[in-house]
Chains A and B, each alone.
Chain A
């Protein structure tokens, strides 16, 4: 049963990473990236490394998407100002 969980978690991580690459809009990529972070946390936990999973959750679920979205917003505002 434990092996099945490991395989499922790794398949989820692979699917999420592929989806993150195939999406081209950075803001939407951030959503998929946050799901990839969650999947990695599950993968670490089923591999019996919950401490790594804990830090992955902290970084991956809220902090990275926040930084990406703020950057995207800043860049788009800068572009709009440049055209005027």
Chain B
């Protein structure tokens, strides 16, 4: 059994499943937060899959999600959220989850990969994720 693929499966069930539930029910704010959480976790899933399958090319998918996911969330925050409804439920959890989960995934991957271009790419993806998490949290909170 491959621990990286196991981690990806765990993240798929424990992270994306609840996100889907939150995105399919409840108010608009909760849905946008769930969509944001899903893209951030999906990026980590792709990183784990790339390591689990042993194909470094799959890291590109994580890079694309790290760029496009926050862009999608900003679209929703701009067009779907009310201006004066206040903090959507769950918005305060976004930044802590990203701040914990991203290093917890990227640092082991960097250690396994070893120094080189691939590690730089992983670090860049991690930084993009952190920046995207902070930016979307601000956008969602402002409404």
Report A's interface with B, CB cutoff 8 A.
1-2, 4-5, 8-9, 12, 15-16, 19-20, 22-23, 27-28, 30-32, 34-35, 38-39, 41-42, 45-46, 48, 50, 53-54, 57-58, 61-62, 65-66, 69-70, 73
Contacts and interface: CB of A to CB of B under 8 A. Distances in A.
B12 A32 contact: no
A9 B79 contact: no
Interface residues of B, number: 42
B14 to A, nearest CB: 11
A1 B20 contact: no
16 contacts: A1-B52, A4-B9, A5-B49, A15-B17, A15-B20, A27-B28, A28-B28, A31-B23, A31-B32, A35-B20, A38-B38, A39-B20, A45-B49, A61-B65, A62-B68, A66-B72
A32 B24 contact: yes
A70 B76 CA distance: 10
A32 B72 CA distance: 12
Contacts of A66: 72, 75, 79
